[in-house]
């Protein structure tokens, strides 16, 4: 008979694995978005994931970058967005 803690641990492990696989799928889909030129830029990928409500930590993991790098990209995107709203 399994205990409640063992069941929770098993479910958490399954969810963690599923989350990793979804991250890979999202990453691959972002690279498949049709766009002229060499492909979707990192900045555009960060913008898309941010618009979908993805946390910076998760964006970093999906794109294989550090969280400080993603935070820098998000800061630049938000400044640009705020500048457009002010005009």
pTM of the predicted structure, to 2 decimals: 0.64
Largest CA distance in the chain: 65
Sign of CA dihedral 72, 49, 59, 44: negative
Tokens 């964006």 -> residue: 59
pLDDT, one tens digit per residue, over 7-63 is 888 888 899 888 878 877 887 787 777 666 666 788 988 988 888 888 899 899 888
DSSP string across 23-43: HHHHHHHHHHS--SSSS--HH
pLDDT given for residue 72 in this prediction: 96
| Dist. CA 82–CA 79, nearest whole Å | 5
Confidence label for 66 from pLDDT (cuts 50, 70 and 90):
very high
Confidence label for 2 from pLDDT (cuts 50, 70 and 90):
low
pLDDT given for residue 67 in this prediction: 95
Domain holding 50, by residue range, is 4-86
For residue 25, with 0-12 CB atoms within 10 Å meaning exposed, 13-18 middle and 19 or more buried, which class applies?
Answer: exposed
Number of domains in the chain: 1
């Amino acid at each position: 008979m399994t205990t409640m803690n063992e069941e929770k641990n098993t479910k958490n492990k399954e969810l963690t694995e599923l989350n990793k696989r979804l991250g890979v799928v999202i990453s691959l889909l972002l690279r498949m978005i049709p766009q002229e030129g060499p492909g979707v830029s990192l900045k555009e990928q960060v913008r898309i994931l941010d618009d979908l409500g993805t946390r910076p930590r998760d964006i970093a993991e999906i794109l294989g970058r550090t969280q400080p790098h993603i935070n820098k990209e998000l800061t630049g995107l938000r400044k640009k967005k705020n500048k457009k709203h002010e005009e």
